[in-house]
Amino acid sequence: MTQPGGFSRNARFLIARLQNMRAANFPDAPALPIRDPWPGDPSRGARLVKGDLEYLGAGKPMPTRPFSHLPGASLLRTHTLGFSWLRDLRALGTDAARSRARHLVSEFLDEEQLDPLSAQPDVSGARITAWLGHYDFFAASANDDFRQQLMSRLVAEARTLSAALPAEEQDGRALTALKGLLAASVAMPEHANYLTRALKFLTAEVERQILSDGCHIERSPAAHLAALQDLCEIRALLQVGKIAAPVAMAGVIERMALALRALRHGDGGLALFNGSKEDLPSLVDLVLSQAGRSGRAPAAIGASGFYRLAAGKSLVIIDAGAPPAPGLDRFAHAGTCSFEFSIGKERLIVNCGAAPAAGPEWRDALRSTAAHSTLTIADVASSELRENGLGRRPLNVHSQRHEAGGAHWLEASHDGWGKLFGAVHRRQLYLSDSGEDLRGEDIVEAEQPQPFVVRFHLHPNVTASLQQDHGAVLLRLPSGQGWRLRADQARMTVEESVYFGLNEPRRAEQVVLTGHQDGPQQIKWAITKVG
């Protein structure tokens, strides 16, 4: 059955192919210079020169034909085919890096059987932007044949990308596709002028994807950062082309910048919810400076359901919102009502992080409820994990925040286990005005008592010592500062954990509170500063 809009899209593809077959004259070089604004990693560039590609903690050797049928997770394949890793070679900046970049682009241009993912609008958009943004680095000094082949391919890909819009993906990938088409329209206005079409879809995507609180619709700090980067690049492209930005973009980047501030810890890195890693604080700072909005982070990002409880040097960030809708949940974790706790620039309680570019075993293990600092019932995740999103999920998620005299309360609940066990998880958090006393209560409401545990995953730099009476755990930060975790009506243990918040996985520990199935279906706990 033909999908809605399928006939018109197929007709546009046919016209684009005919234009590509007939066209003979292509620009010798971009008419307007475009530069990729983001820093690369010279260490990743050095590995790439040697033939190894690394992305989001996953790595692989570049095969002999790296752009035909690539192995690995789709996210790693799309990164390979999108060429944003050119910035790592540019950051390395050696003749060998320039030669490697030119060689890999040439291999792509010569490949007759490209990986099917290469034709996805977001992948094509990323590739067009990367080629144009690094043109001076790898192409300006190349021979005429290479430059002519590159420019003809850029025009052809822009035509095909225009025909593919609107992108079927409704998440941040649509912004990346539009960024590529705008880059081609600005850099090659006489040969790839699809500006009107791109601006039309840009308006629709900005209005749909950016929530009223400035948070991105995917509810992922990492996806939010990527979307803000794309919109900053789009705004810069429009400025280079002296093109008026759509009315819908007015204030959007600034609102997103404030929301991004709410999603980072005191060390400057991102909170680890829904597919996110810490990311380099320097990159987050650069994105915020390009966004051009300063100011204090909001305490709540109401439309998205994230909350910040900040007092003294302490900061608690909680995911108390419903998972994103189907089609927008590619990075979603089963971490509803999980939280992270940091003191100054040191993280104490964390979620385990993410490995979205890794194999399914690690990817799904880190998406499970057990990999988050929250309650788990019967070892079952609060949302059903599927390869491209979630199946069963909480349908009713409620939260309410209070503040008085510098102290903060949050009440949150969700019914992620409602269909399976008829159970509701209620979590209450309290942070004192000094920030030195964090208290919580986790309750399972169900007709039949359920086995449950509450987990507190520790940052790998934190050491944990279980007291002799097993009634408390002493937590020691790298600075030497101590915090004590106590609990009522639960068995307390310290167990192994793993942390994927950085590029390389690290061993870590977790404190596990096990409830008594035949006793009260609640656990009260407290984390207080020692001394």
Helix (H, G, I), strand (E, B), or coil: what is residue 55?
Answer: strand
* pLDDT of res. 384: 98
Listed in sequence order, the residues at least 6 apart from 136 whose beta carbon sits closer than 8 Å to its beta carbon are 33, 35
Could you give the CA distance from residue 474 to residue 472 in angstroms, rounded to a whole number? 7
How many residues does the structure list for the chain?
Answer: 531
Cis omega (within 30 of 0) on the bond before 326? no
How confident is the model at residue 303, as a pLDDT? 87
Closest CA to 423 of 447, 403, 405, 446: 446
- The span from the first CA to the last CA of the chain, in angstroms, equals 69
Give me the amino acid identity at 76.
Answer: L
pLDDT tens, position by position, 238-277: 999 999 999 989 899 999 999 999 999 999 999 999 999 9
Cα 131 to Cα 43: distance, rounded to the nearest angstrom:
21
Residue ranges of alpha helices (H) inside 382-527 are 418-421
Q: Return the CATH number of 306-530, one of 3.40.109.10, 3.30.420.10, 3.30.2400.10, 2.70.98.70.
A: 2.70.98.70
Quote the CA–CA distance of 142 and 130 in Å, as a whole number.
17
pLDDT tens-place values along the chain, 531 residues long = 334 456 555 545 455 555 554 555 788 899 999 999 999 999 999 999 999 988 876 777 887 788 987 777 788 889 999 999 999 999 999 999 999 999 999 999 999 999 999 999 999 999 999 999 999 999 999 999 999 999 999 999 999 999 999 888 889 999 999 999 999 999 999 887 889 889 999 999 999 999 999 999 999 999 999 999 999 999 999 999 999 999 989 899 999 999 999 999 999 999 999 999 997 899 999 999 999 866 778 877 888 999 999 999 999 999 999 999 999 999 999 999 999 999 999 999 999 999 988 888 899 999 999 999 999 999 999 999 999 899 999 999 999 999 999 999 999 999 999 999 999 999 999 999 999 999 999 999 998 999 999 999 999 999 999 998 888 999 999 999 999 999 988 999 999 999 999 988 999 999 999 998 787 899 999 999 998
How do the domains of the chain map onto residue ranges?
Answer: 6-209, 306-530
211 token code pair = 């929530």
pLDDT at 487: 95
pTM of full prediction above 0.85: yes
The helix (H) or strand (E) run that includes residue 431 is: strand 424-431
Q: What is the pLDDT of residue 1?
A: 34
Helices (H), 354-448: 360-367, 418-421
Q: Which residues pair with 348 in a beta bridge?
A: none
From residue 501, alpha-carbon distances to 329, 441, 506 in Å are: 20, 26, 9
pLDDT 10s digits, 287-302: 999 998 667 788 778 8
- Torsions phi, psi for 168 (to 5 deg): -70, -30
What residues contact residue 109 under an 8 Å CB cut-off, 6+ apart? 149, 150, 153
Residue 514 one-letter amino acid: T
From the list 95, 525, 45, 56, the residue with the least C-alpha distance to 280 is 56
Query: Do 353 and 466 form a contact (C-beta atoms < 8 A)?
Result: no
Q: Which residue has the tokens 């197929």?
A: 10
